[in-house]
Structure 1
Amino acid sequence: MTNTRRQFLASISMLAAYSAFPINAFSFGSSKKLRVVLVGTGVRGISFWGKRLIEEYSDILEFVGLSDINPGRLEYAKKYIGVNCPTFIDFDAMLNKTKPDLIIVTTVDATHHQFIIKGLEFGCDVLTEKPLTTDETKAQAILNAEKKSDKKLIVGFNYRWSPYSTKIKELLSSGTIGKITSVDFNWYLNTHHGASYFRRWHGEKDKSNSLWVHKSTHHFDLVNWWLDSDPEEVFAYGSLEHYGANGPFRGDNCRTCEHKTNCEYFFDITKDKHMMQLYVANEKHDGYIRDNCLFRNNIDIYDKMSAQIKYANNATVNYSLTTYSPYEGWRIAFNGTEGRIEASLDIPYNKKTDVSQAEMHAKEMEQNALEEAETETIIVHKLWKDYNKVLVPTERGGHGGGDKRLHDKIFKTPNETDPFERAAGSRDGVMSAIIGIAARKSIESGKPIKIADLTDIKPLPNRA
């Protein structure tokens, strides 16, 4: 047990990345299991940061408390995760009673800062789901709290850990196409995955600050990491033209809607026992509707988005997010002084697949990859030469295998050196979320937004 804990502490120290002060190891103690609490018992919290930790790493950690504003979800979460710890509506009471070592935050995005800051002030290390937070004021408050504390903050970025993303990083870092000058990045959410955000609380800016922050923070973190540079300026466009009040009809929820036979987006939550027990059975406690109408009038986020991002190393990035695409996938192209790299995943006409778009969404939401690996291609063009294909073994599900690898790095192979520096801390969290925050500010003001004006982190041409 002591050796396992020592390995865990070594790995955890690598995850702190706010560069304003020296990195210190997390201090959980040395002779007992890690005392972990979870705040926010939605599906991601109780599965990836709950049940899976118990199943895979119970030799090193134990849950000593669960917290949520919904008492019904709390009780279901306790059974689903498989723990026998106390539950709390009051987060402060949980901290005072359980004295945890680590707090895992998986609440609504706009509330992350409350629990992160309280946790750091209480003397706990904190692990938060992405995005770190939803506006620049909250981001700065988090940075200030971490500076004052002797504890650290981890941000759960998982896409970095997928084999495909890692191979792109390897090719770029080795100078395959020279200095990167520009990037074209397009992400497509299909009518299953994209629509799901508009059913949930994510469709309201006061809770998510739009998909610029909740979803695109994943993509911006990848670009920051791939380029090894910080964003410097953002100019963006966005609008709501498909969902929300644009819909032809609306209802209270899918279950009771009189238009279910005519609506292409009808979602039958009654076929999902897990969702019924976690959400529908507990609507009476907080009024949260999981199968809410995509066309309700209070949806105010954007469903089409595009941005131009200038980096401190003078690279420019053209980015777009589509939320009602016929298919799910993404494309990226890096232009360099010595060539071009093109990469894409799940473009249906590039590779024959028998998996439907509905199945693809379901598999991607699973916490572990499927057993069968696939091979995907990255195209490398060199100036004055023909292109080469780089074949990459990949996995479907769990964010391309990134979910499992993120956990395994922390708990199973912490002493292995990671040449790709995939661990993420508060600085990474801020610099990914801040692009989306700047994009929304740019749309609202019609002006480019300087990243340096938003927090005290100054963009660096080379983050290394």
Structure 2
Amino acid sequence: MMKVVLVGCGAMSRQWLDAARQIDGLAIAGFVDLDAERAQARAREYDLSNAVIGTSLDAVLDETKPDAVFDVVVPAARREVALSAFAHHCHLLTEKPLADSPENARAIIAAARRAGRLHAVVQNRRYVANVRRIRRFLDSGAIGKPTSIHADFFIAPHFGGFREEMDHVLLLDMAIHTFDAARYMVAGEPASVYCQEWEPASSWYRQGSSASAVFDLGGGKVFTYAGSWCADGFRTSWE
């Protein structure tokens, strides 16, 4: 039996708990959230009232001694959660993004290596059927080698909550899906990027809801991205 503590009991945690229900030999031993009532409510919702509830990850890890941590916190809290998990010798499965800055990303990776624990980031766009179908088609060579890849993303979700207040909201919380899918489809490795983000006057986000980027993916492949999370009107696909 693998014991897991889930930290971050917001709306996304339901997706994680639904998936966990389908895994034999996995038990949720604890819930952690800054709002203890929210953590308790999530435990009751999933008939896990025996799980340990707390607002301190360190305290819950000390009490439950789990094998792994599920990290579903906001990006700004990711480094603190990761370092705590590795200090308690836990494996870590985390929501995207890996971190909210290159400095924090490097610190998390270094801590995982020192602890000798598995560390994985949920990044599911490369497993979307259409994305994998495009990769197979490009690998076939039917249209030659890919050199120019372009993606547009224009959607206007009103999620509320932390997204409307966070920094770099489009880049950190959504655009990374498209970046990863493009890299996967053309087997590219990013060598450099130029990016500009801005906040349209009509936006309801605090910062960074629109962005454009140009990536050098190596091997003569260039990827351009244009996106907005406050684009009312005819929307693109989430993918």
TM-score normalised per structure 1:
0.49
Q: What does the per-residue CA deviation read over 1:390-446, in whole Å, with 9 as the maximum and x for residues that have no partner?
A: xxxxxxxxx78xxxxxxxxxxxxxxxxxxxxxxxxxxxxxxxxxxxxxxxxxxxxxx
Match of 2:129 among 160, 163, 174: 163
Q: What does the per-residue CA deviation read over 1:29-57, in whole Å, with 9 as the maximum and x for residues that have no partner?
A: xxxx1101100000111x11113422x22
How many equivalent pairs are there? 237
- In the other structure, the counterpart of 2:94 is 128
Tell me whether 1:200 sits opposite 2:161 in the alignment: yes
- Map 1:5-44 onto structure 2 (within 5 A): 33-44=1-12
- In the other structure, the counterpart of 2:67 is 101
In structure 1, what is the Cα distance between the partners aligned to 2:183 and 2:115?
Answer: 26
- In the other structure, the counterpart of 1:81 is 46
In structure 2, what is the Cα distance between the partners aligned to 1:77 and 1:109?
Answer: 21
- Map 1:292-303 onto structure 2 (within 5 A): 294=204, 299-303=205-209
- The residue type equivalent to 2:97 in the other structure is P
Tell me whether 1:92 sits opposite 2:64 in the alignment: no
- Cα drift, residue 208 of structure 1: 4.4
Tell me whether 1:322 sits opposite 2:228 in the alignment: yes
Is the Cα–Cα contact under 8 Å of residues 309 and 317 in structure 1 kept in the other structure? Answer: yes
Q: What does the per-residue CA deviation read over 1:147-202, in whole Å, with 9 as the maximum and x for residues that have no partner?
A: 2121111111122222111111211223232221111111121x3x2x33xx3222
Instruction: Give RMSD over aligned pairs.
Output: 1.8
- Cα drift, residue 203 of structure 1: 2.6
Aligned CA distance change for structure 1 residues 231 and 110 (closer, same or farther; 3 Å): same
- Cα drift, residue 93 of structure 1: 0.6
In structure 2, what is the Cα distance between the partners aligned to 1:301 and 1:319?
Answer: 18
- Cα drift, residue 231 of structure 1: 1.2
- The residue type equivalent to 1:44 in the other structure is M
Aligned CA distance change for structure 1 residues 243 and 200 (closer, same or farther; 3 Å): farther
- In the other structure, the counterpart of 2:81 is 115
Tell me whether 1:305 sits opposite 2:206 in the alignment: no
In structure 1, what is the Cα distance between the partners aligned to 2:214 and 2:5?
Answer: 39
Q: Equivalent residue of 2:188, what SS?
A: coil
- In the other structure, the counterpart of 1:65 is 30
Is the Cα–Cα contact under 8 Å of residues 238 and 304 in structure 1 kept in the other structure? Answer: yes
Tell me whether 1:232 sits opposite 2:191 in the alignment: yes
- The residue type equivalent to 2:225 in the other structure is Y
In structure 1, what is the Cα distance between the partners aligned to 2:102 and 2:126?
Answer: 24
In structure 2, what is the Cα distance between the partners aligned to 1:303 and 1:150?
Answer: 37
Is the Cα–Cα contact under 8 Å of residues 201 and 208 in structure 1 kept in the other structure? Answer: no
Q: Equivalent residue of 2:27, what SS?
A: strand
- Cα drift, residue 94 of structure 1: 0.9
Aligned CA distance change for structure 1 residues 78 and 150 (closer, same or farther; 3 Å): same
- Map 1:385-404 onto structure 2 (within 5 A): none
- In the other structure, the counterpart of 2:169 is 210
In structure 1, what is the Cα distance between the partners aligned to 2:139 and 2:183?
Answer: 13
In structure 1, what is the Cα distance between the partners aligned to 2:93 and 2:7?
Answer: 11
- Cα drift, residue 121 of structure 1: 2.6
Match of 2:152 among 186, 196, 199: 186
In structure 1, what is the Cα distance between the partners aligned to 2:137 and 2:227?
Answer: 25
- Cα drift, residue 303 of structure 1: 2.9
Q: Equivalent residue of 1:113, what SS?
A: helix
In structure 2, what is the Cα distance between the partners aligned to 1:125 and 1:213?
Answer: 23
In structure 1, what is the Cα distance between the partners aligned to 2:151 and 2:210?
Answer: 14
Aligned CA distance change for structure 1 residues 181 and 161 (closer, same or farther; 3 Å): same
- Map 1:252-271 onto structure 2 (within 5 A): none
Is the Cα–Cα contact under 8 Å of residues 135 and 209 in structure 1 kept in the other structure? Answer: no
Structure of higher CA gyration radius: 1
- In the other structure, the counterpart of 2:106 is 140
- In the other structure, the counterpart of 1:220 is 179
- The residue type equivalent to 2:3 in the other structure is R
Aligned CA distance change for structure 1 residues 64 and 208 (closer, same or farther; 3 Å): farther
TM-score normalised per structure 2:
0.92
- The residue type equivalent to 1:60 in the other structure is G
Q: Equivalent residue of 2:153, what SS?
A: strand
Aligned CA distance change for structure 1 residues 127 and 94 (closer, same or farther; 3 Å): same
- The residue type equivalent to 1:302 in the other structure is G
Tell me whether 1:241 sits opposite 2:200 in the alignment: yes
In structure 2, what is the Cα distance between the partners aligned to 1:77 and 1:117?
Answer: 24
In structure 1, what is the Cα distance between the partners aligned to 2:167 and 2:4?
Answer: 26
Q: Which runs of 4+ in 1 moved over 3 A?
A: none
Identify which of structures 1 and 2 has the higher relative contact order when contacts are C-alpha pairs closer than 8 Å and 6+ apart.
1
| Unmatched segments (≥5 aa) in structure 2 | none
- Cα drift, residue 238 of structure 1: 2.5
Aligned CA distance change for structure 1 residues 65 and 96 (closer, same or farther; 3 Å): same
In structure 2, what is the Cα distance between the partners aligned to 1:82 and 1:166?
Answer: 37
Is the Cα–Cα contact under 8 Å of residues 168 and 209 in structure 2 kept in the other structure? Answer: no
